[in-house]
Amino acid sequence: MGLAKRAVQIWPDECWQSFPEIFESEAPEDTEFEKEWKLLQTQLNLYSYLHRIDILSGIGAYGILLLGLDDGKRLSDPVDGINPKTGEVISTTKRKLLYLRAFDESVLTVNSSETDLTSPRFGMPTSYKIQYQQAGPSPITVPYDIHWTRVVHVADNRECSEVYGISRLQCLFDNLYDVKKVSGSSAEMFWKGGFPGYAFELTPEAIAMGAEIDAESVKEQMLLWSQGLQRWLALTGVTTKSLTPQVADPTGHVDVHLKLVAVSLGVPYRVLLGSEEAKLASVQDKRTWNGRVAKRQNGYITPMLIRPFINRLIALGCLPEPKEPYSVEWPDLNASTDDDVAKIALNRTESFAKYVEGGVDALIPPRQFFTIIHKMSDSEAENILKEQEKYEGDLSPEPEPKPGQGNEPPTE
């Protein structure tokens, strides 16, 4: 259902609204690592696949991102140069990344796991089986065995296990079904209650004469009226009464369950509902929500998805080894937009105008007004005061020349 899809996608969609910047150095010229990363991003649209596996890994307990290499080997074979037991890079051979594929748990099975207690990969999968559906007029599902060196394992909401996370839908299961039942039954309620039907009653005169309702004739007339073009009923000795509609507004019941879904997901209620409601939310709790998004970006996506992906590409030889540790920097979510800057400028201008008009400078000197009230730095306040003195100096009248000076003609 649509609400389940929204629940799975809301965190990844919010976190990947803007892409991070991957760089090795802040120098103006790109390093070899930065050039190759940008080239791969352009050719394979890497961020799109990272966003996709972030979504797919939350449907079930995990997901994998398959790395297609040009080494000419089967997917079940380990990549040369990587120790299959420890993951240590033995040697690096330059390779080309041909494609990426993202898969969720529904088509995956962990064939085997590392059982060596001394291995850094203890408990991690060593082989997967994927049920891959080949495209065509008659799609065929073909199983493939995949070695762990050719994939990036992704699991969100990890608790006890490093392999399996908790589905984003697990804590919402009951609430999602409640929403489905309430919304579905409301349609049935309207269908039945919007037109509850008619009651046919004999008139007192007909009852006194011992008449009975001819059910077949009444049924025939009702079918002609409801299913045909006849818009009248011919009934003798019978009166027709419309039953009272029984339709209740389900909004309150649905809202309760939607708020429970929002609480379980840890997102603001208005953000869960969509763009129009989120616009109002941006005024009330924008910074709080942005803080949660930034926490997931820096606390989960960067260390558990982006860095393992880049490190694997470096180990496989698809990216050159950076000379310095590379950085992952996300855009500032609280950065001021053009509208924010315009509003701040307007508010400050009005504040300055009221400060001057009200003569508040007799109570609070300009320097303290700038630094304490408007939180300016000392240098900013000093610059404003210097400009003010310069401006006032330019407007001051020139001194009158003394007698005998200036351009006046000498007096006789």
| Whether residue 118 has pLDDT greater than 60 | yes
pLDDT at position 397: 62
Q: What are phi and psi of 302, to 5 degrees?
A: -65, -55
Residue type, 402: K
Q: Which two tokens stand for residue 404?
A: 């005998």
Say whether 144 sits in a helix, a strand or coil.
Answer: strand
Confidence of residue 399 (pLDDT cuts 50, 70, 90): low
244 confidence band (pLDDT: 50, 70, 90): confident
For the chain, what is the mean pLDDT? Answer: 85
Where is 296: in which H helix or E strand? helix 286-296
Average pLDDT of the segment spanning 135-142: 75
Whose CA is closest to 163, among 64, 94, 69? 64
State the pLDDT at residue 106: 93
* Phi, psi for 346 (deg, rounded to 5): -65, -45
pLDDT for 373 equals: 82
Would the pLDDT of 191 be above 80? Answer: no
- Residues with Cβ within 8 Å of 217's Cβ and at least 6 positions away in sequence, in order, are none
Q: Please give the Cα distance from 301 to 164 (Å, whole number).
A: 16
Mean pLDDT of the 156-169 span: 93
Among the listed residues 351, 354, 358, the one whose alpha carbon sits nearest the alpha carbon of residue 376? 351
Of residues 247 and 367, more confidently modeled: 367
CB count, 10 Å around CB of 381?
A: 18
pLDDT > 70 fraction of the chain, expressed in percent and rounded? 91
Which residues pair with residue 133 across a beta bridge?
141
Residue 223, pLDDT score? 83
Most confident stretch, 132-136, 138-142, 273-277, 294-298: 294-298
C-alpha dist (Å) from residue 83 to 70, 72, 89, 206, 293: 19, 19, 6, 97, 36
Classify strands 21-23 and 238-242 as parallel, antiparallel or unpaired: unpaired
Is residue 337 predicted with pLDDT exceeding 70? no
**Banded pLDDT at 283 (limits 50, 70, 90):** low
Residue 136 has pLDDT above 80, yes or no: no
Question: Hey, what are 238's tokens?
Answer: 């019978």
* Band (406; pLDDT cuts 50, 70, 90): low
Q: Of all residues in the chain, what percent carry a pLDDT higher than 90?
A: 44
Task: State pLDDT tens for residues 167-176.
Answer: 999 988 888 8
User: Is 280's pLDDT higher than 60?
Assistant: no
Name the pTM for this structure.
0.73
Q: What pairs with residue 328 in β-bridges?
A: 22
* pLDDT score for 317: 93
pLDDT band at 407; cut points 50, 70, 90: low
pLDDT for residue 321: 93
Q: How confident is the model at residue 281 (pLDDT cuts 50, 70, 90)?
A: low
When pLDDT is averaged across residues 183-202 and rounded to a whole number, the result is: 77
**What confidence category does residue 82 fall into, taking pLDDT thresholds of 50, 70 and 90?**
very high
Query: In the predicted model, is pLDDT for residue 293 greater than 70?
Result: yes
